[in-house]
Structure 1
Amino acid sequence: MEFTYSQVESLNETETYVYNYVVKNTKKVLNESIRELANNTHVSTATVMRFCKKMGCEGFTELKYRLKEIEEVQETDQEEKNDFYDYIEYIKSKEYLDSIKKTADIIKRSDLFVMLGFGIHSDFANHAARSFCRSGYYCYAIDNDCYPVVEVAEKQNPVIVIVYEKSQEKNLFEIMHQYKSCHYTIIMIANENIGVLSNLCDDVIYVSKGDVRMGQVVSSVPFLYAIERIIYELTK
């Protein structure tokens, strides 16, 4: 629960003792009885009851229930923040930055540049291809498995960047095999271990260590940032 200005303003001196204690020791209060709270704040149980009523609660039990609700919300918020904090630390790592730079170097040397994404990543593949085009590196997107492999001369350097999608793993393996047989350099971007597919890749960019979530929402930021970071390396 959140205390309002008008509620706190209505407290007398002894009730303010209770307020300060509750704010500073919320988790402890959740496990205390009304008498223990009164003893710890050096006031009577009647004062604690008046405090509860001024905070909009019928009694001490309701106060603890509402305190628990807000505590759970704060813990969830902290977990979500930690998810992004871990991601931010990861993208500063040498492992991540080296894989980005390697990919940028491969693209710079390429004669043909393709971006492939199936399923939930089909729109992302199109977005990424447009972003590369705007930065001066022509790229076309493949968003389904009906496209034929564009064959190139033996001395050319074609490259394909593939967005990993676990549900498409078998399909991706077959397609990667086709591109590998046509001498394409294969780069995979993923947010989870790609297993046996790594054997067909020349580089793998792990955009994060698993899903980055905000509550029930899985963020696309790691994939988007990886593309933006590659473009930065290409154009700096």
Structure 2
Amino acid sequence: MSIFTHEMIVSFNELETALYNYISQNSEKAAYMRIRELADETHVSTATILRFCRKAGCEGFSEFKIKLKMSLEEKKKTVIKSPQHSITEFFERTLHSDLEYKMQEAATLVSAADSIIFIGTGSSGILAEYGARYFSAIGKFSLYIKDPHFPIHTKFRDNSVTIVLSVSGENPFTVTQINQLKKEGSKIISITNNKLSTIAKISNMNISYYVTEEWYQDSNVTTQVPVIYILEAIARKISRE
């Protein structure tokens, strides 16, 4: 994971931003440079570097280099499990959970709705679009909404169900969409990896699948196979009602 947060980056002035860009592009080299070498290389003063380090949450340049080296080592150690491991983990848990009951409950809720709205961002957004196409294919009018400010006609909001996809259940963009759709009267079904997440808690009902969350460097690469299974299982239950 990066040692720089969004809050840190937006606090940098012009010189500090130039320093940040250099370190980001030359992290292996910067981790072993002396402060004077870095100052000469980036054409800034040592005082600027020390101020930069403090904004990055370090007391000095030595502590900053230690954190940078640890971050580089963490990236080297990243190992992604085989897909069979994550998928087996999910299906073993379904045998000892109330997943089947939850999916049937969701299918009943969706069956009674006139329209289905899918939302999600990133890879969850791609699956939300897939879900909208899949549900439409079995006869339920469905649409995928990416923009929280996208105008939705009253006839689509009335008696609607929103299906929310989010691995972490904490995406602020998606939370904003949910709040807006709830105000407009849509019932919320969330599919998340954790039932204790913010999105799960503010939903009318939640289906959680609990697989080990995996990261490769700064990217969330948690398997999405459980989400596809849940979406297709709900849709097939609807088609039989």
Q: Same fold (TM over 0.5)?
A: yes
Deviation at 1:193, TM superposition (A): 4.1
- Which residue does 1:119 correspond to in 2? 122
Match of 1:199 among 189, 198, 201: 201
Structure 1 171/185 Cα, relative in aligned 2: closer, same or farther at 3 Å?
Answer: same
The alpha-carbon distance between structure 1 residues 88 and 171, as it changes in their structure 2 partners (threshold 3 A), is: same
Tell me if the contact between 1:84 and 1:212 (Cα under 8 Å) persists in the aligned partners: no
1:18-73 CA-partner distances (Å, limit 9, x unpaired): xxxxxxxxxxxxxxxxxxxxxxxxxxxxxxxxxxxxxxxxxxxxxxxxxxxxxxxx
Equivalent residues of 1:90, 1:96 under 8 A apart: no
Identity over aligned residues, as a percent?
17
Deviations 1:156-196 (A, max 9, x none): 42110011154862222222111111111001011234523
Equivalent AA in structure 2 for residue 164 of structure 1: S
Corresponding residue for residue 172 of structure 1:
174
- 1:105 aligns to what SS in structure 2? helix
TM-score of the pair, normalised by structure 2: 0.56
What is the aligned counterpart of 1:134 among 125, 134, 137? 137
CA distance in structure 1 between the partners assigned to 2:156 and 2:226 by the alignment: 35
Alpha carbons 1:116, 1:143 under 8 Å: kept: yes
Query: Residue 228 of structure 1 aligns with which residue?
Result: 232
One-letter amino acid of the structure 1 residue matched with residue 151 of structure 2: P
State the SS of the aligned residue for 1:140.
strand
1:160 to 159, 162, 166: 162
In the alignment, the residues of structure 1 paired with residue 166 and residue 153 of structure 2 have an alpha-carbon distance, to the nearest angstrom, of 21
Q: Distance in 2 between matches of 1:168 and 1:218?
A: 15
Q: What is the Cα deviation at residue 91 of structure 1?
A: 2.4
Report the counterpart of residue 67 of structure 1 in structure 2: none
Q: 2:146 corresponds to which residue?
A: 143
Q: Conserved in 2, the CA contact under 8 Å of 1:130 and 1:139?
A: yes
Please say which structure displays the higher CA radius of gyration.
Answer: 1
Normalising by structure 1, report the TM-score: 0.57
Q: Distance in 2 between matches of 1:191 and 1:93?
A: 16
Q: Secondary structure of the equivalent of 2:194?
A: coil
1:112-135 CA distance string (max 9 Å, x none) = 211112123222111111111111
- Aligned 8 A contact 1:164 1:194 in 2: no
Contact 1:117 1:144 (8 Å CA) reproduced? no
Residue identity matched to 1:219: T
> Mapping of 1:78-117 within 5 angstroms?
81-117=84-120
Decide whether aligned partners of structure 1 residues 79 and 112 sit closer, same or farther in structure 2, where only a CA change above 3 A counts. closer
Which deviates more, 167-176 or 199-208? 167-176
Tell whether the 8 Å contact from 1:114 to 1:142 is kept in structure 2 after alignment: yes
Q: 2:226 matched to 1:219?
A: no
Unaligned runs of 5+ residues in structure 2 are: 1-78
- In structure 2, C-alpha distance between the alignment counterparts of 1:135 and 1:169, rounded to whole Å: 29
The alpha-carbon deviation at position 100 of structure 1 amounts to 0.6
Deviation at 1:143, TM superposition (A): 2.5
What RMSD in Å do the two structures reach over aligned CA positions? 3.1
